[in-house]
């Protein structure tokens, strides 16, 4: 059974600081997603990482994937308050004709002024 772990679960950081969220998963997969969720809202897709060594960047967020280590990171550069949200990684597991997405527990990011 695929397990996906994120750490930290909660992160409070000051504006302007850098930090990294980690996502580990237990079985082989070649696709990983990062989603953002604002309080009381739905999930918004941020990145799709499709292969080993993949790196995607959007603004102050950069995601990478190491399939050999079964690890993805979401790096935050010079955090701003607008990045406050919960971030989820999700890993694809293939089952015959369909795939299932297994989510991590989420990292709640709070950026303070």
Partner 1 sequence: NAGVTQTPKFQVLKTGQSMTLQCAQDMNHEYMSWYRQDPGMGLRLIHYSVGAGITDQGEVPNGYNVSRSTTEDFPLRLLSAAPSQTSVYFCASSLDTRLAGANVLTFGAGSRLTVL
Handedness of CA 53, 75, 63, 72 (dihedral sign): positive
Q: Name the residue among 49, 43, 53 with its Cα closest to residue 88.
A: 43
The interface mask with partner 1, positions 13-32, x = CB under 8 A, is: ------------------x-
Distance CA 112, CA 110 (A): 6
Minimum gap (Å) between residue 49 Cβ and partner 1: 10
Phi then psi for 83, rounded to 5 degrees? -80, -5
- Establish if 33 lies at the interface with partner 1 (CB under 8 A): yes
Minimum gap (Å) between residue 17 Cβ and partner 1: 25
**Of 11, 22, 101, 110, which one interacts with partner 1 (CB under 8 A)?**
101
Distance CA 81, CA 104 (A): 23
- Site residues (CB under 8 A) for partner 1? 4, 9, 31, 33, 41-45, 48, 50, 88, 90, 92, 94, 97-106
């Amino acid at each position: 059974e695929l397990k996906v772990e994120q750490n930290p679960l909660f992160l409070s950081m000051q504006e302007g600081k850098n930090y990294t969220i980690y996502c580990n998963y237990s079985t082989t997969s070649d696709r990983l997603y990062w989603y953002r969720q604002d309080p009381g809202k739905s999930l918004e897709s941020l990145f799709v990482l499709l292969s080993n060594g993949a790196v995607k960047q959007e603004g102050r967020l950069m995601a990478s994937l190491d399939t050999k280590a079964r690890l993805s990171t979401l790096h935050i550069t010079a955090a701003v308050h607008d990045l406050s949200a919960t971030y989820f990684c999700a890993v694809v597991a293939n089952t015959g004709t369909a795939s299932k997405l297994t989510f991590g527990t989420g990292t709640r990011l709070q950026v303070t002024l």
